[in-house]
Amino acid sequence: MNRTMIQAVNTATDSAPRRALTTRARHRPSHLGWLFLIPALSVYGIFVLWPILQTIRYSFYSWDGVDKPQWAGLRNFRAVFTDPQLTSTLVHVAELILFFTVIPVGLGLVLAAIMQRVTSRRVTSVARAVLILPQIVPLVAAGIAWSWVLSSSGVVNQVLQAIGLRHITRAWLGDFTTALPSVGLIGAWVLLGLCTVLLSVGMGKIDASLYEAAVLDGAGRIREFFAVTLPSMRNEIAVCVTVTMISALSAFDIVYITTQGGPGNATMVPGLKVYQLAFFNRQVGLASALALVLMVIVILCIMPVQSLSRRSGDE
């Protein structure tokens, strides 16, 4: 990539009249750029911006999707924050964040550190390929695979039986107490590899002299990790936290396939609830209010993380 770029730069400058560049041919057409922008802006406007405005509008109405919408004021929003069926979805999502975010980022840091010590390049590249695999396959397929692994005759119970823990075997996704953590672990499985690889790339970029300095100061492995590694990777960690939090907040595919929100309401998440309310219960207004609250929560969660990462220019 770089070579072709430099070549192109060279040929471009060679053919130019000698250093006439000083005149800085800055005839910036200030409106022409808009012609390039309009196509993208229009599809974005039609299929994203307009729907968002509609979501906001619907959220103030009571509407079954067929008859004339009835003005509902803030009633839908009050329901989102008071109806236990709906507030519980927000609680569940908070718990999912623990699994989707804390495990992949925490464990990812440990694994990345390990991968850095196992220095063979081949091991590293194989590790990357294997770990990133869950990002390639559809979440739906991952959901089917995992609901089988966690089922009453699945691998998990098979292993537990083999090591003499028969008494705790169960249908993990069908049990009120274990269903949500199980969904959370599936999410952790999906995201762990991505975080690990991202963090290991970040770790590889840390200046070795920082470690030498830490060792001279008498720091051990652990001190070294907290004094050098962690602070140097603020950016990568922020990226991982952002990506994983968004996947937790907008979880849909996995829950839809593995539990449909059940048992009872135990794994119901906002994304799935929006879908059910709008397309099965015909409560379009309420669904829109919940969707809007979800969007606001995403923004509220992401903003502090973003400001945490050092903002270097446009990255």
Partner 1 sequence: MTERRQETLISSVLLAAVFVVTLLPFASLFTTALHTSGTYPTGLSWPKHPQWHNFVDAFHAADMGAIFLSSTSIVLGVVPVAIVLATLAGFALGHLRPRGGRAAFAVFLAGLTLPLEGVIVPLYYEIRDFHLLNTRFAIILPLIGLYMPFAVYWMRAHFLAMPNELSEAARIDGATTWQLFWRIHLPLARPAVTALGILLTIWTWNQFLLAIVLVDDPKKRTMAGALGAFQGQWGTNIPLLAAGALFILTPMLIVFLIFQRNFVVALLQGSVKG
- Using CB under 8 A as the binding rule, the residues of this chain from 39 to 68 that contact partner 1 are 39-41, 43-52, 54-55, 58, 65
Q: Which of 71, 81, 148, 176 binds partner 1 (CB under 8 A)?
A: 148
Q: Which two tokens stand for residue 246?
A: 């968004």
* Amino acid at the residue 263: P
Q: Which two tokens stand for residue 297?
A: 């929560």
How many CB atoms within 10 Å of residue 19? Answer: 8
Name the residue nearer to partner 1 (CB basis): 214 or 293. 293
Q: Could you give phi then psi for residue 61, rounded to 5 degrees? A: -120, 155
The reply to whether 300 sits near partner 1 by the rule CB under 8 A is no
Q: Which of 178, 227, 275, 282 binds partner 1 (CB under 8 A)?
A: 275
Q: Which of 1, 163, 208, 222 binds partner 1 (CB under 8 A)?
A: 1
Sorted by sequence, the CB contacts under 8 Å of residue 61 that are 6+ apart come out as 69, 70, 71, 72, 284, 285
Name the residue nearer to partner 1 (CB basis): 144 or 230. 144
Q: Which of 132, 171, 206, 210 binds partner 1 (CB under 8 A)?
A: 132
The reply to whether 256 sits near partner 1 by the rule CB under 8 A is yes
Q: How far is the CB of 57 from partner 1 (least distance, A)?
A: 8
Q: 156 to 215, contacts with partner 1 by CB under 8 A?
A: 156-158, 189, 192-194, 196-198, 201
Burial letters 199-219, b for 16+ CB under 10 A, else e? bbebbeeeeeeebeebeeeeb
Q: How far is the CB of 189 from partner 1 (least distance, A)?
A: 7
R_g of the chain computed on alpha carbons: 26
Question: How many angstroms separate the CA atoms of 100 and 105, rounded?
Answer: 9
The reply to whether 12 sits near partner 1 by the rule CB under 8 A is yes
